[in-house]
Amino acid sequence: MKDDRYVISAEWIFLDGEFRKGMALLVNGDRIDGVLERDDALFLGKYLPFTEYSGEFMLLPAFIDAHSHLYAYGIDRNRPSLEGFSSLKDVLEFVKHFVSERERNLYIFVDFDQSGWKEGRMPRREELDLVAPDRPVILRRVCGHVAVGNRKALELLPEGIDGVDWETGLMVEDVPLNLNRYFPPDDGEIEEGILRGQKEYMGLGVASVHEFGTPRTFGIYQKLEREGKLKLRVYHSFYREFLRAIAEAGLRTGFGSLFLKVGGIKAFADGSVGARTAAFLEPYKGESTSGVLLLSSDEIENLVRNAEGAGLQVIIHAIGDRAIEQVIEGYRRAISPGNPLRHRMEHFEFPLDRSVNGARVIGLYLSVQPNFVARWGMKGGMYEDFLGRTRWSRNNPFRALCNSGLKVAFGSDSMPPSPLLGLEGAVNHPIESQRLDMERALSLYTEAGAFFSFEENLKGRLCEGYLADLLILRGKPDSKPGDLKVVDLYIGGKKMEGEGIGKA
């Protein structure tokens, strides 16, 4: 019989929330078979393959990203980039060749920046019509809020839509920000997006994601799993409009395999701070708007009742203080005592003190995004700019959430999907009293996420019987997150190849 066992060790091993020295793991197939003292490991190492990372290396459970948009991220990353061009003329030439060489239904080019072009102006519809007369072409600006389309692309849009100049082809806000909705990707693009996304995520040390999608994306994930191409573990939730379809199909939260499981039902209670659509009690600084509430308490109450009746977890996006209050009120009316389905709130960025308490009382699970702190929450950053000092100082109170006994996990929202960036936001939080130490932050990016998907007895920790989803980082427990580097990733005991891993 083939022996699938091996021993693996590094200078530091992350066990039960702390780093320990002189330890090793015995792996058997896709599982951890035991946690060993070094002497036992050396003895076993005489008979079994022994992978030892000696020097400044750490062995941890692989990251679990508790809020992710992997396929959409991958689709975006697969789009041809217009970064670095020095003239519009060259861009048009590039577009012409790209389109003529590939048969596709739609071509979306991303990341152009006219400020770096000789012409110094936006491209125009008729210029795109000249290089691509028969097929829809869209160029999206680097900011994501502006795009230009040719005639064929504009024909695909519904009439009377906001922010579209049919003459110049210029599109602002709604359409460029929601390209996948107005120009739905086909199955092939979704499949390629998943493959691209998982490769990049693995390179960042991620072995499991909590993904959001549709019955169609779930089907494509299934196909990839059947073909042996799905390498990452996916907990797949569905947008709210699919609640009935998922319930009628009899799909319950947790159904599936070790690689693809049915998650819950995702709804949005507000928008984002960057678009000034996150719902607050007070207006944005210097503006009349205070954001947009997308769900009433009644709608939330009904959603929770219907989902509970169908055995499905509810996952609600809420960022502003007002949206958070609203969601807690909706949950409070309908949630079963003890929250057995582990209903969640995502982001929870600007809670009032009473909301933290309210969430604790009903036992909500909170998936929060430390990379948002690193990107927008630092002093002088976008949050302070848009919301003023007082509200900014209340952003993402991680320590308060953890200390109150709430279940909290980290996820990236794919903006971008790097856990190391997230760790930076957590340990360098601009409000000192809200900082987490490295061990706590790592726990939120590993074992905490497993609770959110009912997999706490399966992954997220280095214990006997758990999946051998292992991460090797170069660095020391007291290194700054920015100085750490992903070296190797093992999923189900197998060493993975991702963007940049396995090369250090």
Of 77-85, 249-257, 301-309, 405-413, the window that binds Zn ion (rule: CB under 5 A) is: 405-413
Part in contact with Zn ion (CB under 5 A); list of ranges 289-297, 406-414, 455-463, 481-489: 406-414
Which of 321, 413 has the CB closer to Zn ion? 413
Contact 11, 54 (CB under 8 A): yes
Nearer to Zn ion, 127 or 413 (CB): 413
CA atoms within 13 A on the CB side of 353: 1
- Say if residues 6 and 50 touch (Cβ distance below 8 Å): yes
Residue 211 in contact with Zn ion, rule: CB under 5 A: no
User: Least distance (Å) from Zn ion to the CB of residue 391?
Assistant: 21
Contact call for residues 91 and 117 (beta carbons, < 8 A): yes
Q: Which of 407, 405, 386 is nearest to 395 (CA)?
A: 386
Closest distance of CB 269 from Zn ion, Å: 12
- Tell me the closest approach of the beta carbon of residue 65 to Zn ion, in angstroms: 11
Tokens representing 7 are: 């021993």
Phi, psi of 214 (to 5 degrees): -130, 170
Q: How far is the CB of 274 from Zn ion (least distance, A)?
A: 13
In the complex, minimum distance from the CB of residue 347 to Zn ion, in angstroms, rounded to a whole number: 8
270 touching Zn ion, by CB under 5 A = no
Pick 33 or 413: Cβ nearer Zn ion: 413
CB of 414 to Zn ion, least distance (A): 7
Least distance from Zn ion to the Cβ atom of residue 157, Å: 25
Q: Of 70 and 431, which CB lies nearer to Zn ion in the complex structure? A: 70
Interaction between residue 413 and Zn ion (CB under 5 A)? yes
Looking at beta carbons, which residue is closest to Zn ion? 413
Nearer to Zn ion, 154 or 209 (CB): 209
Please choose, out of 181-189, 397-405, 410-418, 471-479, the segment that lies near Zn ion by the rule CB under 5 A: 410-418
Cis peptide before 215 (omega within 30 of 0): no
Of 76 and 413, CB closest to Zn ion? 413
Pick 67 or 199: Cβ nearer Zn ion: 67
Q: Are 279 and 291 in contact (CB under 8 A)?
A: yes
> Residues touching Zn ion: how many (CB under 5 A)?
1
Determine contact, residues 236/217, Cβ cutoff 8 Å. yes
The CA distance from 53 to 57, in Å, is: 6
Contact between 12 and 19 (Cβ < 8 Å):
yes
> What proportions of the chain, in percent to the nearest 5, are helix, strand and coil?
35, 25, 40
Other C-beta atoms lying within 10 Å of the C-beta of residue 86: 10
> Contact between 301 and Zn ion (CB under 5 A)?
no
Least Å distance, CB 322 to Zn ion, is 19
CB of 413 to Zn ion, least distance (A): 4
For the bound state, the minimum distance from the C-beta of residue 17 to Zn ion, rounded and expressed in Å, comes to 27
CB of 369 to Zn ion, least distance (A): 9
- State the DSSP string of 342-404: --EEEE--S--HHHHHHHHHHT-EEEE-HHHIIIIISTTSHHHHHHHHHHHTTS--HHHHHHT
Nearer to Zn ion, 57 or 71 (CB): 71
E strand intervals along 192-259:
206-213, 233-239
Contact assessment for residue 150 and residue 176, using Cβ atoms and an 8 Å cutoff: no
User: What does the H/E/C string look like for 253-294?
Assistant: CCCECCCEEEEEEEEECCCCCCCCCCCCCCCCCCCCCCCCCC
Range 359-378, binding Zn ion (CB under 5 A): none
Of 101, 173, 71, 183, which Cα lies nearest the Cα of 138? 183
Q: CB-wise, 180 or 404, nearer to Zn ion?
A: 180
Residues of this chain, 147-176, that bind Zn ion according to CB under 5 A: none
Binding part of the chain for Zn ion, among 156-164, 242-250, 322-330, 409-417 by CB under 5 A, reads 409-417
- Smaller CB distance to Zn ion: residue 204 or 458? 204
Distance between CA atoms of residues 244 and 177, nearest Å: 27
Distance CA 479, CA 481 (A): 6
Tell me the window of 4-12, 334-342, 413-421, 482-490 that interacts with Zn ion (CB under 5 A).
413-421
Question: What is the binding site for Zn ion (CB under 5 A)?
Answer: 413
